[in-house]
Each structure stands twice: as C-alpha cells, then as structure tokens.
Amino acid sequence: MQRLQADLRLNVRQRTEQYAEVLARELQRDLIVAREIVSPMDREVLVRDARTGEARSMLMFGSNNYLGYANHPYVLEQVRESLDRWGAGLGGPPLLNGTMEPHAALQRRVSALKSKEAALLYSSGYGANIGWLTALPHRGDVILMDERCHASLYDGARAAKARLVTFRHSCVDDLRTKLRDARTLKPTDIYVVVEGVYSMDGDLAPLDRIVEVCRGSGAFIALDDAHGTGILGPTGAGTAELFGVENEIDLAMGTFSKALAASGGFIAATRQIVEYLRFFSRPHFFSASMPPMVIAALHAGLDLLEREPQRRVRLHENVRHLVELLGAIGVHTGSQSAIVPIYVPQGIRKVSARMHNAGVFINAIEYPAVPEGQERFRVSVTCDHTRDDLRRLVETLDGAFEAEQVPREVPGK
C-alpha cells in the first residue's frame, strides 16, 4: 500500500506538485477519501458517485452520530427556532461579542453534566485540547500521556512548554513507574492525560485504577471523553460517570461532534481553572464563538440525553449484536463503546473500495491516525441501525474479505 507522503526535501511548489501526483494516482486506484454526502447525516445517506456524478444510497457506518441526533426532528426544530430568535452568527470571539445567553446556558449545562463547577466552550474539540495544554502546563512540568491519545492531545502537548512523556496504552504499572520517574525531575506539576474511550479502538481507559495510582501523588488528571460523553454512564455523562470517579478528574474535556452530532468542544473544571483558561487559552478567546444555531442543536441534544435514554440502550444492544455477527464470520473484535475496530493490516484499501461499491460506508483508518501495520476499519454504530443494517454490513465485509483473500484474524491483536 502506497503511503501518502510528501518529500520534505523539495521546496513548497515542487513538494505540493509531487504530492498532488501521488494523491491523484492513489485516488485512481482504490483510495477512498472525502466522499461527498448530499443528504442529512443518518443511518442511510446519499453519496455522490465521483465517476458518474449521480447520488446513490449508502448505509452509513462512518459517522460518530452515535445517538442519531444529527437528523432528529426535535434537534432540527430547535435549530430552526434558534435561527429565528438569534440569527445566523455573532461575528466575534467569546471575550468580546461572542457570548450570547444560549452560550452561557450551555456552559452551565455542560458543567452540571460533568459534575464540575464551570465549563468553557471552544469551536472544536481539537481546539479545546490545544487550548488547555498550551495554557496550563508550564516549563519544567511533565505531561504523562497514554501513548494512544488522539492527535489533538499530542499536538497540544508538543506545543506546550512542558516535557512530554508517554506511557504504555492503559498500562497502570507503566504509569506508576513513569509517575515515580517524573517526580525525580521535581516538576511543579505532573499532568496525567488519558481518554475515556480510545478513538481508534473503542476500548475504555481503566479509570478506576488510573485514579488510584495517581491518588496522593498530587498529579493533575485530565480526561478527554470525546467518545464517552453521551453514551456511557447511567445518565450518559461519560466514562468517569461509568467508573464513579467524576470527582477525581481535574479537567474533563469533551467534544460536541460525536454523540451530540454537531461541533465544538468544551473543558469543564473548577471555577478557577475555567476562569484562568478564559483569559489564557488562546484557541478559546482568539477564535469566533460557535453560531447560536449550533448551540441550539447542543441544547437539544442534552435535552434528548435526559428524555430518550432508550437510545443509549439501543446503541449498546446494536454494538453487542454486531460483535456477535462479526465473530460468526471469524472477525474477533469487541467494544464497550460505539466504536468497533476491525483490523485489516493488509489490503485495507481494496476491501474498502469493495465496501464502497457495495453501498456500505465505513472508514478505513491508515497512518498517521494509526501506526503503519495497524490499519483498521473503524465502524461507528448508532442507535438507529437496524438488525438488517448490521447483517448487511457483515455480509458485505465477509464477501469483500473473501474476494480480496484478506486474513480474518490478526495474531496478537
């Protein structure tokens, strides 16, 4: 498989030209990216065929619209009402003209959801991670981060002035050792950074044990719960709620782009931390606020979290059923979240092209999102998928694996 790579020895014109050629060649073969969707996001979508220009129906397993809010009638109604009342946008950042009543109210609701005193909005989850990591840790501090953390956490940690140290994925013993080593550097603060649900595998962090290891060390625990918020815990508050450790998390980060199906991010923490970020977190105060209609979609989503808990139940039933169906065709995987990984370290683009041609939309994940040799499909399940949808996904995958002679099980995974 050709890795899409730019030759950094070339100057900017040559490099971009060379990259355009590589990309065009791979798109001619079987690289499938940036498909143009011409309908609302839902369990079934219309996708424009790149060759014919015609729209055709595809079964959607590639969207983090886990609870089906993206096209939920109540969400749409609330967005329409917001448009009439608040207009289309506000043209500025939060410290100036960018805080309307719905924004302030959303901050209060998010802090309550996360059992924190206060919360701050960002226009993306990516920005929220860059935002806190470049504002809180300082020179001489240590950031101890799980090696499988999302790119936004790596980018934030690399931009921060503190030293970045990674520990083995969800390995509490390694965390304990690195925590001990970090203390010998005599930092002012040690930040332990983990995700609730890891975005590429759907596995959960052992938050109870992580919290235990950190207890008494004074470490500051930051949790990115992009994929747990809305789907885990008795009220959907997320992974910390599931483990009963909300009070031990110092900084709860989340996105509005997954279960809440719109966009934006947030940080919830003590009132003092949030106030500090309001003035020191540059992606927050140097970037325009989200339009009120997006905020309305998020309020509507939070209403639905309370009113329609059965969506969460259906989602988890769907995941369990899909894992069973996959097991029956020799694909052994698992998940406690809405993300079901299917490892295809050889030939993923060919299988992906077959899935696309058969009308099933799933995302093939390659480097740099995952290390080379660990390519996978990242199936996003929603509560709205039917049993027939799940069966069709698995039958199509079975046929594609067969046709491409791709092995079903990856030893050691």
Ligand X SMILES: Cc1ncc(COP(=O)(O)O)c(C=O)c1O
Q: Is 238 in the site for ligand X (CB under 6 A)?
A: no
Q: How many residues bind ligand X (CB under 6 A)?
A: 14
Residue of 126, 167, 266, 401 interacting with ligand X (CB under 6 A): 126
Q: Name residues contacting ligand X, limited to 169-198 (CB under 6 A).
A: 195
Instruction: Look at the chain and count its residues.
Output: 413
11 contact partners, CB below 8 Å, separation of at least 6 = none
Q: Which is nearer to ligand X, 123 or 352 (CB)?
A: 123
Would you give the DSSP letter of residue 253?
E
Tokens 């295809």, residue located: 344
Q: Tokens 């005193």 — which residue?
A: 117
240 part of the interface to ligand X, by CB under 6 A: no
Please, what is the minimum distance in Å from the beta carbon of residue 394 to ligand X? Answer: 25
**Does the protein bind ligand X through residue 125 (CB under 6 A)?**
yes
Q: In this structure, what are the phi and psi dihedrals at residue 256, rounded to the nearest 5 degrees?
A: -100, 10
Binding range to ligand X, per CB under 6 A, among 43-51, 102-110, 125-133, 295-303: 125-133
Residue 367 · residue 2 · CB < 8 Å: no
Q: Which stretch binds ligand X (CB under 6 A): 26-34, 118-126, 238-246, 283-291?
A: 118-126
- Under the binding rule (CB under 6 A), the answer on residue 281 touching ligand X is no
Q: Which is nearer to ligand X, 103 or 150 (CB)?
A: 150
Coil vs helix vs strand at 180: helix
Among 150, 284, 299, 312, binds ligand X (CB under 6 A): 150
- As measured in angstroms, the least distance from the Cβ of 195 to ligand X is 5
Question: What is the DSSP code (8-state) at residue 368?
Answer: T
Give the side-chain half-sphere CA count within 13 A for 411.
Answer: 0
Residue 102 binds to ligand X (criterion: CB under 6 A): no
Window 128-147: residues binding ligand X (CB under 6 A): 129
210/325 with CB nearer ligand X: 210
CB of 197: closest distance to ligand X in angstroms? 8
Q: Exactly one of 71, 257, 336, 346 binds ligand X (CB under 6 A); which one?
A: 257
Q: Which residues contact 407 (CB under 8 A, 6 or more apart)?
A: 346
Side by side, the strands of the sheet bearing 44-48 are: 44-48, 55-60, 360-361
Per 3-state DSSP, the chain is made up of helix, strand and coil in percentages (nearest 5) of: 40, 15, 45
Q: Which residues contact 390 (CB under 8 A, 6 or more apart)?
A: 318, 321, 322, 325, 381
Q: Does 152 bind ligand X (CB under 6 A)?
A: yes
Binding stretches for ligand X (CB under 6 A): 124-126, 129, 150, 152, 195, 199, 224, 226-227, 255, 257, 265
